[in-house]
Amino acid sequence: MVNQMSEGPDFDAIQEKRNGELYDMLKHRQVKRLQQTLEDMKEFDVAEFLTELGEEDSNKMAVVFRLLSKERAAEVFANLEAPEQEAIINSITDVELAGIIEEMYVDDAVDMMEELPANVVKRVMRNATPETRNLINQYLKFPDNSAGSIMTAEFVDLKKYMNVRESFARIRRIGEDKETIYVCYVTARDRTLEGVVTVKDLLLADDDDIIENIMDRDVIFATTTEDQEEVSEKFSDYDLLAIPVVDKENRLVGIVTVDDVIDVMEQEATEDIEKMAGTLPSDKPYSRTSAVEIWKLRIPWLMFLMLSATFTSMIINSFEDALNAQTVLIGFIPMLMGTGGNSGSQASTAVIRSLSLGDIEPSDVLAVIWKELRTAFLCGITLAAINFVKMLLVDARLMGNDDVTVIVAATVSLSIIGIVLFAKVVGSTLPIVAEKLGVDPAVMANPLISTITDTVSLLIYFCMATSLLHI
């Protein structure tokens, strides 16, 4: 980052310079120039600039926001996070608010409603037209994370008897406010979906060609109640720009566009990662989540795992005599538990991710176990061999610990093999079982698997010790 000169054009530098200029205009009250610059900027950049302003002074943010033209205001507004949206709603008039709501895409409006506090939602709804209010209410009824909850109503529909010229005329007439114009949907009179035609198809066809003859009848579609993760899989499989969403009667009710799917993918990956680490999933970014909220997300698993460690205490207590006879064994407990935990979470992580990407199915369970058994055998043998040599060379020789005998080293090393085998099989099987039961496999969090392997690791170790060392 030191020598950007040699790197060619620098995207970040351009943006920083532009933001500096914005602050200058604001300082020198060059309202006209500021207004013009904001009008030319990308909505995301305006939203970022407003957020930055709002961190200093939310009043200033609202003042600058009101400089935007009506359409821009709605687009920028959709790019803001909930706290900024709330601050702005609280400082604009009902008329301005109504203007923004009517200009927003339904999916953005619904997103916003889901995050704003109830009293603000009330004010927004009061200022929407009855049609918009109905539409929003209808969308809010779809289950969380369903295709219905992320779709939008702003699509271009065509009829199969239209020709290409008429279609282009329609796209030009209604296209301005649509989320995408590049994929158009052909519907019957009862609104059932009959086909799909892209602007590329239209451009490569003749003006007099009839839609019916160029449309694709084999449409990739989603249903309103379908999980958003499945929807995003279809985008990645079929390289879609948009997908039509139909209801039970196969009527076209909305579309999901690729930009929303990108957000869904980020959100789903984040949720999986959070669950794997034993945190409840959150719908807010980390930087926006307060310490108390984070505490609420993290404490349930911590508490559960702490209390379930009662089993490990009980096992250790019941083997107290054996441990007193051979205190050297105590020192290897952390290493064995750690190795078990790590082996298990490696396996569970691989399986959870593969399930979520559709790379493996629950029916592959036997193949997965077989693969993990072989992997575990290789890992176990390697670790055991290295540990055996290390204990005799380092612990016994180098550090002169006479209690570390060959038989003790063998006990620990053989335990490693058993523990790794157990951990890999449990780590890979539990997520698949969860998926089969219809539970999110990521809930088989790595910490949970660690706790199970901790308990069993100790049992394996102590059984090995009592039988090999005759204690």
- The nearer residue to a copy of itself, 41 or 104, going by C-beta atoms, is 41
Residues 79-98 that bind a copy of itself (CB under 8 A): none
466-to-135, 407, 458 alpha-carbon distances in Å: 70, 12, 12
C-alpha–C-alpha distance, residues 151 and 243, integer Å: 9
Does residue 225 sit in helix, strand or coil?
coil
**272 residue type, one letter:** D
241 in contact with a copy of itself (CB under 8 A): yes
Least distance from a copy of itself to the Cβ atom of residue 42, Å = 6
C-alpha–C-alpha distance, residues 45 and 58, integer Å: 17
Angle subtended at Cα 308 by Cα 304 and Cα 312, rounded to the nearest 5 degrees: 150
- The nearer residue to a copy of itself, 97 or 419, going by C-beta atoms, is 419
- The nearer residue to a copy of itself, 136 or 350, going by C-beta atoms, is 350
Binds a copy of itself (CB under 8 A): choice among 110, 360, 417, 465:
360
C-alpha–C-alpha distance, residues 344 and 186, integer Å: 51
Binds a copy of itself (CB under 8 A): choice among 112, 450, 452, 462:
450
- The nearer residue to a copy of itself, 90 or 313, going by C-beta atoms, is 313
Report residue 412 as tokens.
Answer: 């620990």
DSSP state at residue 385: H
Q: Please give the helix or strand (H or E) that residue 322 lies within, else none.
A: helix 320-325
Give the 3-state secondary structure percentages of the chain, helix then strand then coil, rounded to 5. 70, 5, 25
382 in contact with a copy of itself (CB under 8 A): yes
Q: Please give the helix or strand (H or E) that residue 197 lies within, else none.
A: strand 193-198
Least distance from a copy of itself to the Cβ atom of residue 69, Å = 17
345 in contact with a copy of itself (CB under 8 A): yes
Least distance from a copy of itself to the Cβ atom of residue 124, Å = 23
Residues 268-307 that bind a copy of itself (CB under 8 A): 269-270, 272-274, 276-279, 285-287, 290-292, 294-295, 298-299, 301-303, 305-307
Least distance from a copy of itself to the Cβ atom of residue 13, Å = 12
Residues 201-230 that bind a copy of itself (CB under 8 A): 203-204, 218, 220-223, 225
Binds a copy of itself (CB under 8 A): choice among 331, 389, 406, 467:
331
- The nearer residue to a copy of itself, 101 or 261, going by C-beta atoms, is 261
244-to-137, 157, 176, 223, 251 alpha-carbon distances in Å: 20, 11, 19, 8, 10
DSSP state at residue 24: H
Q: Which stretch binds a copy of itself (CB under 8 A): 56-64, 112-120, 147-155, 165-173?
A: 165-173
Question: What is the per-residue binding string for a copy of itself in 35-64, x denoting contact by CB under 8 A?
Answer: -----xxx-x--------------------
